[in-house]
Amino acid sequence: MDRLDPASPTQDISAPPANTAQQAVAPGRQNPEPFNAIYEVVRTKRAEQRQKRREAFRDSKRTLDDLKRTDQGLYDRLVSRKKSERLRIQEGFKHGGGKVAGRHCPAFAEPGLRSDAHPLLKRVIAGVARASRLHVGRDKAAVFGTDSKLLGLDEPYIELNPNFQILIRIDLDASFPTLGGLLAALTAVGLPVQPNIVVSTPDQSGGESVIHPHLLFLLPHNRAVWTNRSHPRCRLPPIRLLNRVEAAITKLLLPLAADPGGLSNSRKLKNPCSPYWTLATPNEHEFFSLADWAACPNIDLGASKDALLREAVQVKTDLDPVGSNQLFSTGQQLAFGLLRRWHRSGDPENITNLQDRQVLGERLIKELAALILTGCDCAPDQAMAMAKTVGRYAARVWNPARGNGRRCANQGVMQGQFSPEDPLEVRQAAGARRSAQAKRDAALSALVKAYAAAVQAGQPPKKAAVARAAGVNRKTAHRRWAEVLALACGQAP
């Protein structure tokens, strides 16, 4: 049973249509009613499709008894899943106590489904994959698949649909006395709009503290960003703008302990549908598009991940800029040095952890904190703060293919063209010119090959088709078309 899942390969209600430019939406605001209406229509269609499948199953004279005789294991899983789903709907969610998401969680019960009481959660449900491709997790270090979306959406952590992204997630590594205090702090730093959803760790003392919240900013309906680059609707400029907006919001919220390391895995979040978290929906009517975010004067789209990490270390360690930069550089060298050492030694634990980068990050943080505390003049809390920031980032961006210490093919190719007295800026400019020329030559060569292939196949060599086949921008093909024609004619027999 799918839990209110309106997304489908033929109609993704959270994904953008083929032509979104013709749909005018008031900047910064959107009425959620159209989404809810479409949601109910798709929900009804899905129910009808399930009923037809049941009737077809009965018409084929295949019964559970037949399945039990042919595949006992599948029969047991099917019966168990249906029973669990029925109990979940009838009796609500029940937790018997134990460790969840890295903390002890006492026994509790919650009736019904959260999505029934919070309409915004239907947007989140529509933005995750169907059961066969859904990834959920009991802690932030690992995720696993599920055969039931209804039951999977009770897990503490969830991953968004890999094909498109419907929201922006910001992780705050801080606690606030109340939800009102958090919202006031967000306003004080200049955030132009409040988050639509706030998911935080429950306050075990019974208070109203908002502990380590995830801030979720929903994009307007039909303004999601396609992130699967093999999909025909996917375009790179919206993906780049999404990454820049996420980095810009993170930079704006650095004084509130926003985690820049989360930018490397922004699709994984605390599941707002899960009863294990505290949920709040402070903003149910205002949804900023990427263009709205980019138009805000205090949103710096030029923020880089490296600069954000350095600023985060400075904020968390309370050091001066020079001291925090030195500590960051040292930590970065130690982190990647550890990763290279584990890779070259064939460490079996490292090989296993490469399958889940968050597990690798937790191991790296422990090792890194000890090394920093031993080799640097800093307090233990400063060492741990820096180890968490740098360790998580290093674990996410680590590329084992570069861990063998091999030199780049072009490294040192211009070494004989300069003297030691030449300033660094001159050498960098010359290297940039050489690199740009190499890219231009490669693009021209690809265009010529694509042109020749089109002629050989008997197809009209149009600029757009040739550019697409060559993997270059259409503007580049238009600008260099005369060169393409000249070279192609010169290569013709």
| CA-based nearest residue to 289, from 21, 41, 37 | 21
State the CB neighbour count (10 A cutoff) for residue 473.
12
In this prediction, residue 352 carries a pLDDT of 65
Tell me the pLDDT band of 312, cut-offs 50, 70 and 90. low
Rg of the Cα trace of the chain?
27
- 3-class SS of residue 199: strand
Cα–Cα distance measured from residue 228 to residue 163, given in angstroms and rounded to the nearest whole number: 5
Cα–Cα distance measured from residue 155 to residue 270, given in angstroms and rounded to the nearest whole number: 9
DSSP class per residue in 105-157? E--EEE-S-HHHH-THHHHHHHTS--GGG-EEEEETTEEEE-S-HHHHTTSSE
- Domain residue spans of the chain: 33-295, 305-402, 420-491
Section 29-53 average pLDDT: 71
Cβ atoms of 183 and 200 within 8 Å: the answer is: no
Asked if residue 279 has pLDDT above 90, the reply is yes
State the CB neighbour count (10 A cutoff) for residue 421.
6
What does the block give as tokens for 468?
A: 């697409």
Asked if residue 327 has pLDDT above 80, the reply is no
What does the block give as tokens for 257?
A: 């302990």
Digit-coded pLDDT (tens) for 112-164: 999 888 888 988 998 999 888 898 988 776 778 888 899 999 999 999 998 99
Phi, psi of 454 (to 5 degrees): -65, -45
Digit-coded pLDDT (tens) for 433-491: 888 888 899 999 999 999 988 888 888 888 888 888 888 888 888 899 999 888 887 75
Ramachandran category for residue 367: left, alpha or beta (phi over 0 → left; psi -120 to 50 → alpha): alpha
What does the block give as tokens for 193?
A: 């709009």
Q: Alpha-carbon torsion 54, 59, 62, 63, what sign? A: positive
State the CB neighbour count (10 A cutoff) for residue 16.
20
Cβ atoms of 250 and 303 within 8 Å: the answer is: yes
477-488 burial, b for 16+ CB within 10 Å, e for fewer? beebbeebeebb
Cβ atoms of 102 and 140 within 8 Å: the answer is: yes
Cα–Cα distance measured from residue 110 to residue 117, given in angstroms and rounded to the nearest whole number: 12
In this prediction, residue 344 carries a pLDDT of 78
Cα–Cα distance measured from residue 269 to residue 7, given in angstroms and rounded to the nearest whole number: 19
Amino acid residing at 356: D
What does the block give as tokens for 441?
A: 């030559």
